[in-house]
Structure 1
Amino acid sequence: MTTDVILNKVFTVNYLKKLINDQGFGLYQDVVDSLISEQKVDNNLDAFVALYKYMFKNHRNEFFYKNTLIKKILLGIHSVNTTTALREIPISENILDLLLINGVGRVYEIKTELDNLTRLPQQLEAYYQAFSYVNVVTDESHFKDVSKLLEDKPTGIILLTKRGSLHVEKKALEYNGVLNSRVLFNILRKYEFENITNEVFGQLPQVNQSKYYDACFEMLSKLDVKEFQWYVLRELKKRSNINSQNLSAFETIPKEIKSLVYFSKYRPTDFEKLQKFLETDYKEVK
């Protein structure tokens, strides 16, 4: 396993949870010792900061892009009080990278310098079945190809520059031409489409369980698709993991791992464990 592959595994929601629960230190130590062994690393926070700097210079992977979007758009332009970010939403056999909901839903499809563009047209077609604003976030190596591909499309283009800033090269335009009620419905969890059905119709369908799912969709499909999209976005916005109980703890999280914590369902004890882990001397990690 290469050090870059290990780096990808270390900067994940699940692996960080393992670390703060004193598990799986092997990969973490391997990548620290391999990539930043000559730097001064006193504690685990120092190690993550150094690894992130390495990533910035040498390996701008999907996590790096996603973390940059969270820092500069969710936290920089909007706030966690008004906007919800969701990741990895399955849509028509595709996985949407990042969605920000603030009045409207804005898709951010990431194409790093490590990716190819083969599936991009198919992915964008799928996302427009559920959301009206779609952006492709990429780097300079893909910029010309992406620009040509999207020349006559409503899709926005955001460039992650070599300096780590986000530059809007083309603004996303609203497009509702292929919105699909079935695709929107399939994004929802059971309690979410029940919430909408109850609110709109004042009741849930009285059918046996085998027909219940289809019966709910049949009722909701009677709505205008844009109206249905509005209800769907409202339900999705409620999925935020950051609330008044954990906001102050979240605000103290280092920028290098901000998105990992944002997408985790941390309890107060988890925030305490994370803080303890970051403050722990790296040499004490076993």
Structure 2
Amino acid sequence: MTVANIEHTLLARLFSASVFKEFAKTGKSPQFARLADELQLTSEVPASATVSEVFDLAFRKLRAKQVRNEYVYQAALVQNVLLGRHNLQTASLIAEMRAGKSKADIVILNGTATAYEIKSERDTLVRLSKQVADYQRVFAKVYVISSEDHCDGVASSVGAEVGLLCLTRWNRISTVREAFENWELIEPLAVLESLQTPEALEVLRLLDVAVPDVPNGRMRTELMSIFACLDSQELQGALVDTLKRSRTLAPLEPLLRELPVSLKPAAIKHKISKSQWTNLQLGISSTMFDAQSWV
């Protein structure tokens, strides 16, 4: 592994679930301190610099790499699409939501359910057509966001109804092609597979469909029989309303307002309890001088 690849791997680890959850649980992260030291980030900032400022420095380095990773793309979608166009009181985001045998990198729920598949410089397009087909069975709209180098390959791998976004070298999202809704591709049973049972029952209530009165062991079988007969377009509306409530980000809004851009995707993806906010905020406001003692 080259020196550049090692640096990229270490930078990516700074934004991992294990580091984020250490901060949330204890207000400190020995992993962060070790990685910052190994990357020599402390030599690039004054001793009075905060952990938050070092996260931002690491993120700028990660974003400037020739081979950007998925986290950089997630940050662009969170900042420019979720927070740039929507309100967390009326919109929500789900990271890695299952659809068939695939997982959509990001699903944004507003007036409709829109899946986003990330194809970074580090990814291949081998599975793309299968992934998109899985998403189209569940979500009304599908976008693929890729690097400029992948744009042509993505366009030739997916149908004209799939939207294309490009993350430019300046880390701005450029719309190559808008997505449009294709209700005929949505399969109610595929939607059911993506839902937890309480969510599926709420969908039925919203559609004024009688909820099965059967033992838990038979519930999924009964739900399959009912969902198979549902109208795809009506189902999509109930799906959006249900998920916006069950997986809402509204409680996170005060925390997201205070976090740097570099940490917002982690806060959304690795959800923490409200009681852990204080630990996280305390940790990232610590100075690097203090952070060095965490190891």
TM-score normalised to structure 1 length: 0.91
Change (3 A) 1:282 1:190: same
User: 2:19 touches 2:32 (CA, 8 Å); kept in 1?
Assistant: no
| Partner in structure 2 of residue 19 of structure 1 | 23
Is 1:155 the counterpart of 2:159 in the alignment?
no
Change (3 A) 1:138 1:199: closer
Is 1:49 the counterpart of 2:61 in the alignment?
no
| Partner in structure 2 of residue 3 of structure 1 | 7
Change (3 A) 1:72 1:32: farther
User: 1:128 touches 1:178 (CA, 8 Å); kept in 2?
Assistant: yes
Residue 170 of structure 1: how far off its partner (Å):
0.9
Residue 197 of structure 1: how far off its partner (Å):
2.7
TM-score normalised to structure 2 length: 0.88
Change (3 A) 1:93 1:283: same
Residue 65 of structure 1: how far off its partner (Å):
0.4
- How is 1:1-286 mapped onto 2 (pairs within 5 angstroms)? 2-22=6-26, 25-26=30-31, 28-34=33-39, 36-41=41-46, 42-58=49-65, 59-150=67-158, 152-201=159-208, 203-243=210-250, 246-285=252-291, 286=294
Q: How many percent identity over aligned positions? A: 20
Q: How many residues align?
A: 284
User: 2:50 touches 2:285 (CA, 8 Å); kept in 1?
Assistant: yes
**One-letter amino acid of the structure 1 residue matched with residue 92 of structure 2:** T
**One-letter amino acid of the structure 2 residue matched with residue 219 of structure 1:** I
Residue 216 of structure 1: how far off its partner (Å):
2.0
Q: In structure 2, what is the Cα distance between the partners aligned to 1:48 and 1:273?
A: 16
Residue 193 of structure 1: how far off its partner (Å):
1.1
Residue 15 of structure 1: how far off its partner (Å):
2.6
User: Deviations along 1:115-154, whole A, 9 cap, x unmatched?
Assistant: 110000010111100112111100111122122334x521
User: 1:32 touches 1:51 (CA, 8 Å); kept in 2?
Assistant: no
Higher helix share: 2
Q: In structure 1, what is the Cα distance between the partners aligned to 2:156 and 2:206?
A: 44
User: Deviations along 1:231-256, whole A, 9 cap, x unmatched?
Assistant: 1121111234533x553333111111
User: Deviations along 1:80-105, whole A, 9 cap, x unmatched?
Assistant: 12211111011111111011111111
Q: In structure 1, what is the Cα distance between the partners aligned to 2:200 and 2:24?
A: 35
Residue 27 of structure 1: how far off its partner (Å):
5.5
Which secondary structure state, in structure 2, belongs to the residue aligned with residue 75 of structure 1? helix
Change (3 A) 1:199 1:71: closer
Higher relative contact order (CA 8 A, sep 6+): 2
**One-letter amino acid of the structure 1 residue matched with residue 234 of structure 2:** E
Gaps of 5+ in 2: none
Gaps of 5+ in 1: none
Change (3 A) 1:235 1:167: same
User: 2:91 touches 2:108 (CA, 8 Å); kept in 1?
Assistant: yes
User: 1:197 touches 1:216 (CA, 8 Å); kept in 2?
Assistant: no
**One-letter amino acid of the structure 1 residue matched with residue 86 of structure 2:** H
Residue 168 of structure 1: how far off its partner (Å):
0.1
Residue 258 of structure 1: how far off its partner (Å):
1.1
Over the aligned positions, Cα root-mean-square deviation in angstroms equals 2.1
